[in-house]
Amino acid sequence: MIKNLRRLFKYFEPSRKQLLIVGILVIIATFFSILGPIILSGIIDNYLDVGKAKGFVLILGVLLSVYVMSNVCNFISSFIMVKASEQVVYDLRKDLFNHIIKMPIKFFDKNKKGDIMSRFTNDLTDINDVLSDVVIELISGVIILIGSLVFMFILSPLLTFITLGISLISFICTIKIGMKTAKMFTHLQNNIGKMSGYSEEMISSMPIIKQYGKEKETNEEFAKMSNRFRHYSVKANLYACLMMPVSVTVTNLGHLLIVGIGAILIIKGHTTVGSILAFITYFDMIKKPINQVASLFASVTSALAGVNRIFKVMDEDIENPSGKQIEVQGEIEFKNVSFGYNETAVIKNFNLKVKKGETVAIVGPTGAGKTTILNLVNKFYLPDKGDVLIDGISTRDLAHENLRKNIGLVAQEPYLFKGTIRENLYYNELRDKEKIKSIGINDMIEKFPNGYDFIVEDAGDNVATGEKQLLTVARTALLNPKILLLDEATSSVDVTTEKFVNDGLKTLIKDRTTIIVAHRLSTTKNADRIIVIDKGQIVEEGNHKALLKKKGLYYNLYNNGLE
């Protein structure tokens, strides 16, 4: 916790001058606030109590000026502090996003999107709310506490010791309740992230939920998560709400003691009415920092939980950007590679060599490890054992950015960004309209309203699946990669569209090292080699005709729908 707070306050370093100004203004404002009760005491004892009128208006003007100066300084310091805190949150949000986009794929496997997004929304909002207040409250609270105690001791040492004891009771109660509040708000923040992640996942998969009639089970699971959230929310707010009544009760007790003992001291001539009223005001002022702790503790603990959640993500290891920069030729080799996403290995002692310019198709049953092979080539993951080599160099030693610039991936589920078709195609910043024409989709694009300037909605929801796949093929073609990875690129399109996709792929595959993961025969029969894998190992190898003659796994897959 302390470590993360230090990291957070480092974000204030560019705003040191502003913070210095804030500190000075808060000191001035607090100084004027502390002067107020003494001036008011003088007015009561020297003017009201004795019926003196001369100079009364002047002293009231002085008191008014003191309060106005205090409020003006408070306003300016608050405005500067809001700007500084907004800058801190801006920098923190920027660094968090910059870190997340550098995270390896396995991070996104372990964390739900909704939970990640809650860092940018709930957590940063809580931090921003607290930062804009806590610095000013801290400085003013310390000064008010010290200044008020000094004047209280001057007015009445006896009453000062009594009120200090009362304040100590209030402080102990606040801390104990605050510790309970902090624990509950930490649980609450974690549950917000989990619930956001679950909600995002379920909303994304709503067609499947409805197809299988799982609305009731999904609703029950969400209800359980919502109930846990409600449980911690009620407890957290219960403790937070308890702070203020406890604090007010102790304050009222203090007022009774001060008035009771003060009355005796006035009767005996040891003090004045003005002094007792000033003492009560100072007692309320020293209670202010304690009451602020009570009122801010809930939001502070929530923000601290957010700070921990944000820095927990930022402490995760990013992909190492360093490594060799090479001119990729296209040779790929797996040497005794074993890998698993958890404790269970997906591929085991896997060996494969793909020559430069060769097209290799990989087929096998679901879960055999086909897509995993592509992920390892792309350095989305590193092998648990063995090595993946590109042109004889381990991917461990290659800069991932350099490697991926030379690898084109056409995924099973095509994805388009919100924006125009032109922006989606030129995502790689390579603009070659002739290459788009060469894969035969220029006419398709021109048929869209506004052609290349047609606006694609989120995730391409207003574009047919086949058209999306063709556009992703075109986008990959513009990258002009040395290595091409096709992950079941035609499995989600109809036969007619598949022909167009395959025609485009033929142009794309030419003179490139290509690995094709396929469910359909049409994308494998023209491969130089077909690799059949099962349970993470190669069980058959050859061309289409030779593998059919073996009547092994490939033969069975072919007869069961690999077509």
- pLDDT tens track for 262-320: 788 888 777 777 788 888 888 878 877 766 665 566 677 777 778 888 888 888 888 87
130 lies in the same domain as 267: yes
361 lies in the same domain as 455: yes
Given a cut of 60, whether residue 162 has pLDDT beyond it is: yes
237 lies in the same domain as 121: yes
State residue 391's pLDDT score: 93
- Encode pLDDT of 529-556 as tens digits: 999 998 888 999 988 888 888 888 888 8
pLDDT range class, residue 477, cuts 50, 70, 90:
confident
484 within domain boundaries: yes
134 lies in the same domain as 168: yes
Q: Can you give the CATH number for the domain in which 98 is found? A: 1.20.1560.10
pLDDT range class, residue 489, cuts 50, 70, 90:
low
348 lies in the same domain as 375: yes
State residue 563's pLDDT score: 47
323 within domain boundaries: no
| Consecutive H or E run containing 220 | helix 215-267
- Encode pLDDT of 434-454 as tens digits: 666 666 677 788 888 888 888
- Encode pLDDT of 352-390 as tens digits: 999 999 999 998 888 888 889 999 998 988 999 999 999
Q: Is residue 314 helix, strand or coil?
A: helix
In the chain, the N- to C-terminal Cα span, in Å, equals: 58
Whether the Cβ atoms of residue 178 and residue 301 lie closer than 8 Å to each other: yes
Comparing 399 with 44, which gets the higher pLDDT? Answer: 399
322 within domain boundaries: no
pLDDT range class, residue 332, cuts 50, 70, 90:
very high
Give whole-number Cα distances, 358 to 220, 266, 507, 525, 530, in Å: 52, 103, 14, 14, 11
325 within domain boundaries: no
Domain that includes residue 135, residue range: 2-314
Comparing 353 with 323, which gets the higher pLDDT? Answer: 353
Q: What is the mean pLDDT of residues 480-509?
A: 72
180 lies in the same domain as 67: yes
Q: Is 149 exposed, middle or buried (0-12, 13-18, 19+ CB in 10 A)?
A: middle
Q: Backbone dihedral region of 240: left (phi > 0), alpha (psi from -120 to 50 degrees) or beta?
A: alpha
Nearest by Cα to 362 from 562, 552, 505: 562
271 lies in the same domain as 388: no
No. of helices (H) and no. of strands (E), the chain: 19, 12
Strand 385-390 to strand 537-542: parallel, antiparallel, or no bridges (unpaired)? Answer: unpaired
State pTM to two decimals. 0.67
Q: Pick from 286, 314, 342: which residue ends a domain? A: 314
319 within domain boundaries: no
320 within domain boundaries: no
pLDDT range class, residue 148, cuts 50, 70, 90:
confident
- The rounded distance, in Å, linking the Cα atoms of 229 and 221 is 13
326 within domain boundaries: no
Q: Average pLDDT, whole number, for the chain?
A: 80
245 within domain boundaries: yes
497 lies in the same domain as 395: yes
Whether the Cβ atoms of residue 473 and residue 504 lie closer than 8 Å to each other: yes
State residue 515's pLDDT score: 92
Comparing 493 with 281, which gets the higher pLDDT? Answer: 281
Comparing 322 with 521, which gets the higher pLDDT? Answer: 322
| Paired strand residues for 531 | 362, 541
Q: What is the mean pLDDT of residues 89-118?
A: 83
Nearest by Cα to 473 from 454, 461, 453, 490: 490
Q: How far is CA 438 from the centre of its chain?
A: 42
337 lies in the same domain as 304: no
- The rounded distance, in Å, linking the Cα atoms of 119 and 300 is 16
- The rounded distance, in Å, linking the Cα atoms of 475 and 452 is 13
- Encode pLDDT of 203-256 as tens digits: 766 766 765 677 788 888 888 888 888 888 887 777 777 777 777 777 778 778
Whether the Cβ atoms of residue 107 and residue 316 lie closer than 8 Å to each other: yes
Given a cut of 80, whether residue 494 has pLDDT beyond it is: no
For 113, the token pair is: 């999107």
Q: Which residues contact 400 (CB under 8 A, 6 or more apart)?
A: 319, 320, 321, 323, 379
28 lies in the same domain as 121: yes
Q: Which residues contact 490 (CB under 8 A, 6 or more apart)?
A: 469, 498, 501, 502, 518, 520, 522, 523
Q: Can you give the CATH number for the domain in which 416 is found? A: 3.40.50.300
Three-class DSSP labels, 394-453 = EHHHECHHHHHCCEEEECCCCCCCCEEHHHHHHHHCCCCHHHHHHCCCHHHHHCCCCHHH
State residue 480's pLDDT score: 81
Comparing 371 with 510, which gets the higher pLDDT? Answer: 371
State residue 488's pLDDT score: 75
Give whole-number Cα distances, 205 to 211, 371, 389, 493, in Å: 10, 22, 37, 20
Q: How many domains does the chain have?
A: 2
Tell me, what DSSP letter sits at residue 125?
H
- Encode pLDDT of 460-471 as tens digits: 778 887 788 888
Q: Pick from 314, 347, 380: which residue ends a domain? A: 314
Comparing 89 with 296, which gets the higher pLDDT? Answer: 89
CA 71, 76, 82 angle in degrees (round to 5)?
Answer: 120
Q: Pick from 314, 342, 363: which residue ends a domain? A: 314
| Cα torsion through 284, 285, 287, 289, rounded to 10 | 160
74 lies in the same domain as 150: yes
362 lies in the same domain as 304: no
